[in-house]
Amino acid sequence: MPANLTLPDLATAVAAGEIDTVITCICDMQGRLQGKRFHAQHFLDSAHEETHCCNYLLATDMEMVTVPGYAASSWARGYGDYVMKPDLATLRRIPWAPGTALVMCDVLDHHSHAPVPHAPRSILKRQIERARAMGFEPMMATELEFFLFEESFAQMFDRGYPAPTPMARQNIDYSIMGSTRDEPIMRAIRNGLYGAGIPVECSKGEADAGQEEINAKYSDALDTADMHALIKLGVKQIAQDHGASVTFMAKYDHARAGSSSHIHQSLWQGGANVFYDPAAEHGMSRVMRHFLAGQLAFAREISYFLAPYINSYKRFCVGMFAPTKAVWSLDNRTAGFRICGEGTKSVRVECRIGGADLNPYLACAALLAAGLEGIEQMLEPGAPVSGDLYQNDAAQSIPKSLDEAAEALKDSEVLARVFGEEVVAHYYRAARWEIEESHRVVTDWERARGFERA
């Protein structure tokens, strides 16, 4: 869905005193929006052409530490600038921030103005171009889950992130009454996002105390990733405005369900879903079978982009609806890949592996890259697997740790070829840093287990 402002519309709104601030932002490696707030008139005068940011924004960790070991950004290279190039097709009003508009930016090299290859938006755009060269338009949608808590972000930080209080006290999956307590915030989220040009379809209570899900309409792959990043920003800011907090951690508590980000995918051509063939088994066209087969074949290699943190892998546990096997099935929520809309024009692949902590650009790019590889190699997915896949020891497993996923990424010939060796090396370094940091930290679990008894 196109954003809801053009540059002339913005000029009119600024002249009328309706908008005074324009946020320009890029997506960092962690999927967060980083950038600047401009006075709207200065944006109209010059910043709509381009602005700049430090290139360390694509070489830091979750805590904004300047991580050593990156080829693209380092102290030795002086941490220079990148160009932030506004994509004016994404210019939109932000209703939850008074007088504010926002625009997504592409990241360009400061000297050549070429796209920075390891920038998340660049990686996805390159795979979209690859799909279009094959005659396809990738269409996607994400389902985003999160937990909503009574305490504010500031309270949680100041107290060292103790056990938070879920807004809803019990499992509220699909419960209208159970989710009523959350509704003042969820209503503000739905309306705020819709007012920002994001076609929110619905929200619902999810499968544990305080858990929510929000869904936006199917769209082209780049728009879907943009919307996903903006949904996370909007959910956090609106919760903060209500004195509450949310988390998009894949697993905030070992006793609770994890939060996922399922990704629905299909390829279109001439306004029609080329995954659909009414004469084929399950309505799955030859193109769809090859696409699915590619994602199965390279599932382990792309897992880092679906589960990028140590915590991500704690979501993959038996009996809590997160998959543990990278296999496909028909309408089976224990499979890593589920076929939705079987036998209909909306038939599509749902990847259920990713958590709510994923970077949407990287996840969509990785899935698209694997699927297109399957089409090019004319791979076959085999027969669907049925039953309780948690108990199927013969099925291909999802990596059990970030370490395992990182090594699969490093050794991936396919990703080195389609993303570029420097891109794979960049994100492998990010994975190894996360692992290195985890190894040096003493956890609450270790302290409680060993303080007295060791």
pLDDT band, very low/low/confident/very high, at 168 (cuts 50, 70, 90): confident
State the pTM of this model: 0.96
Q: Which fold has domain 128-398?
A: Creatine Kinase; Chain A, domain 2 (3.30.590)
Contact 285, 375 (CB under 8 A): no
pLDDT score of 1: 52
CB count within 10 Å of CB 449 equals 11
Give mean pLDDT, residues 385-394.
Answer: 76
pLDDT score of 196: 96
pLDDT digit string (tens) for 130-142? 999 999 999 999 9
Beta bridge partners of 66: 60
pLDDT band, very low/low/confident/very high, at 319 (cuts 50, 70, 90): low
pLDDT band, very low/low/confident/very high, at 393 (cuts 50, 70, 90): confident
Give mean pLDDT, residues 379-393.
Answer: 83
Beta strands, E only, 178-260: 200-205, 211-216, 219-220, 245-247
CB count within 10 Å of CB 453 equals 6
Give mean pLDDT, residues 167-188.
Answer: 87
Q: Where are the domains of the chain?
A: 7-116, 128-398
Beta bridge partners of 137: 268
pLDDT score of 2: 60
Give mean pLDDT, residues 437-447.
Answer: 91
pLDDT score of 169: 83
Q: Is the pLDDT of residue 388 over 80?
A: no
**Token output for 22:** 């324009």
Side chain identity, residue 16:
A
Which segment of 75-79, 210-214, 328-332 scores lowest on mean pLDDT?
328-332
- Between strands 33-39 and 81-86, the pairing is unpaired
Q: Is the pLDDT of residue 124 over 60?
A: yes
Tell me the angle at which helices 360-377 and 299-306 cross, rounded to the nearest 10 degrees. Answer: 170
- Establish whether domains 7-116 and 128-398 are of one fold: no
H or E, element range at 374: helix 360-377
Distance CA 51, CA 86 (A): 8
Report DSSP letters for 294-313, one per residue: HHHHTHHHHHHHHS-STGGG
Quick one: which of 44, 389, 257 has its CA closest to 247?
257
pLDDT digit string (tens) for 405-416? 999 999 999 999
User: What CATH number matches the domain at 7-116, 3.40.50.300, 3.40.50.2000, 3.10.20.70, 1.10.569.10?
Assistant: 3.10.20.70
Distance CA 413, CA 386 (A): 31
